[in-house]
Structure 1
């Protein structure tokens, strides 16, 4: 199903993000959390009500149990959607990308993969494997149905085959945020060498698809001989809006990403003063002002950085207390993720900050020397400035 996120390099030290609100964890596949939204129960109920009468025709006399059978079919159908999403996730992991979760929701499923693809072929294979999996499931279900006699089980296989073949084919439509849009993006990227151009072309493909879908009710009766129902109109509106907003968001994201290379940590770094941990805060501030340094780092006796002094904590400390408080009292201990290479820039910089949120980061050279301190506020300001250009 639609996969609105693009993959990025896996990071073994990356912390698992918190579970989105309104989701339940129902298990895991190859170490990837499988989540389900509360909206799924709504669509499962609608499927049960919609297919109940058809199940009654295949197996008369079920009464209320036809709706139970309809709900069971909804579960089986979403298990096939889970296979679709799991194929995205497994291929992404095999190509060396990080996968946070698989979520089943009202419109199908979503695989949350970190960041951007590194190569066009990676984008292609991660995207195309989902629709191919759905088509394969549909083909297997169709073969199973052909070998069965009339009855409830055969009817379930026919429905499962039709649903998966439809999901597979529709997801190959070349427009974002559908998988086919990502396939188109990969092809344009590979041909032009420009990833952002691929996103823009695929985004327009998604917009055109959305407009075609919204126009369908106007020609439905002429094409298939049946006028659109209220349910048809509602579904077309929901899907058309989903495609249009998804495509528009992808295009905006692509334009923003074109400006990311201009976001470089080195020129944003503040000049740094290093002081022992036991120096009084007032003295550390005096030395920093004298040296015209915008940040202070505490170091051990051997010069190893042990903490970054928080600008907010220094500001909050009353001036009369500063001579009696060690500078280490307002320093954040150097934890994993707070030290970044001085050369970090663009997407790598944004990912590093998002993985380990903090107010300041220590920038170090390749040989371990301290270059300076990077403030998140300075990065945000530079990011906004780049976005306005």
Structure 2
């Protein structure tokens, strides 16, 4: 399929607007690294939780024990960042665009453009994260064995344990965990059906959530300790996260099943090309005579200059239309407004989401104008497909 005229280099994608409540702290291999405001809450909780252990190891630190706890939280999240960066690097190597890496309350998230094209891509992008965490845990554990007693040894030991737990738990076969994506890739590879893989892995995530929510009921019989209020809150948050994430993944899979029927070419409106300085009233008259549903302004050599906005034409009073050029109600041909007429499915949705607009110019492989695609027509077609 021909690429859009505004395609990014392999492994890169157009920079998306930063989500509200996030702070950019830098970049890794050209990928923005963001931190949500919730991260500061969990960093404070880690600092408060780790402080008594520090006081036990090095008495008399006073307020500095909380500072040391915060430093440990930062180091711990640097290892989480390494986990997410491994996802991003492998995705880039396989040709996917990576928009950002975000650190948040429950860990991290790597935003990758589009769904995986092959089961093996899904497998390697997913599995590398937990393997990285396990490797960090093993390395930290080895360092812990040779360090002398002291605060640093305590911190390294906690870092080793945390990364081993993160790595192992992320391999649990249920979405939205990395292990769920591994399970999805295996089912996808065996059945040839990506959506079936998502549904199976989604149910794995739901069962994991139910098992987690049931843990406080069996904690005392198994371990001999009663669950605390903190245990109950944490279990509830994690269980809710797993259940909602798995449910959302299953819903998205059902939506993606309908996307292949969404093709740009049949949805295109017949297009009339006119000079940019033609009076708007005359351009509208010609479009009506030609039964064209859209107007594109062009240069003398036929190069597209802009797409006339239907909303802007409607808003223009009829008595003014003979006196204004059609270019005044046209949106200039910016990057992302030209799409291949053959574009379809998830690629089409992704292209529209990257560069939101009311209309897009569709072109053939040789550059000839095919027509104009209206976002309203895409939305209508999607709703009709969903209702079937």
TM range (shorter): over 0.9
SS of residue matched to 1:228: coil
Distance verdict in 2 for CA 1:194–1:10, change over 3 Å: farther
1:266-305 CA-partner distances (Å, limit 9, x unpaired): 1111111122222211111111111111111122222222
Name 2:311's counterpart in structure 1. Answer: 312
Deviation at 1:64, TM superposition (A): 2.4
State the distance in 2 between where 1:330 and 1:338 align.
16
Match of 1:156 in 2: 155
Show the counterpart of 2:269: 270
Answer whether contact 1:308 1:362 (CA < 8 A) is retained.
yes
Q: CA deviation at 1:49?
A: 1.0
CA distance in 2, matches of 1:345, 1:305: 22
> In 2, are the aligned partners of 1:9 and 1:97 still within 8 Å (CA)?
no
Say which SS state the counterpart of residue 297 (structure 1) adopts. strand
Are the counterparts in 1 of residues 213 and 235 from structure 2 also a CA contact under 8 Å? yes
CA distance in 1, matches of 2:187, 2:92: 24
> 2:310, 2:155 → 1: CA distance?
64
- In structure 2, the residue matched to 1:103 is 102
* Counterpart position of 1:244: 243
- For the residue of structure 1 that corresponds to 2:14, the secondary structure is coil
Q: Secondary structure at the match of 1:258?
A: helix
Q: Distance in 2 between matches of 1:245 and 1:96?
A: 29
Matched residue, 1:174: 173
Secondary structure at 1:357 match in 2? coil
Q: Distance in 1 between matches of 2:20 and 2:310?
A: 33
Tell me how far 1:53 sits from its aligned partner.
1.0
Could you tell me how far apart the structure 2 residues matched to 1:56 and 1:126 are?
Answer: 40
Rate the CA distance shift 1:31–1:142 in 2: closer, same or farther, 3 A: same
Deviations 1:128-175 (A, max 9, x none): 111011111111111111112222111111111111100000000000
Cα shift at 1:10: 6.0
Task: Quote the Cα distance in structure 2 between the aligned partners of 1:222 and 1:119.
Answer: 45
**Residues 175-213 of structure 1, C-alpha deviations (whole Å, 9 max, x = no match):** 000000000011111111111111100000000000000
Q: Write the mapping of 1:1-389 to structure 2, written as runs, cut at 5 A.
A: 14-389=13-388
Q: How many residues align?
A: 382
Q: Which residue does the alignment assign to 2:4?
A: none
Structure 1 residue 11: Cα displacement: 5.8
Cα distance in structure 2, aligned partners of 1:145 and 1:231? 29
Deviations 1:8-27 (A, max 9, x none): 99668842011111111111
Distance 1:349 1:355 in 2: 10
Q: Structure 2 unaligned runs (5+)?
A: 1-6
Contact 2:275 2:300 in 1 (8 A): yes
TM-score by length of 1: 0.95
TM-score w.r.t. length of structure 2: 0.95
Q: In terms of mean alpha carbon deviation, does 331-340 or 254-263 score higher?
A: 331-340
Match of 1:4 in 2: none
Of 276-285 and 38-47, the range deviating more from structure 2: 276-285
The answer to whether the Cα contact below 8 Å between 1:10 and 1:97 also exists between their aligned partners in 2 is: no
For the 8 Å contact 2:297–2:330, the answer to whether it is kept is yes
Which moves more between the two structures, 33-42 or 331-340? Answer: 331-340
Cα drift, residue 66 of structure 1: 1.7
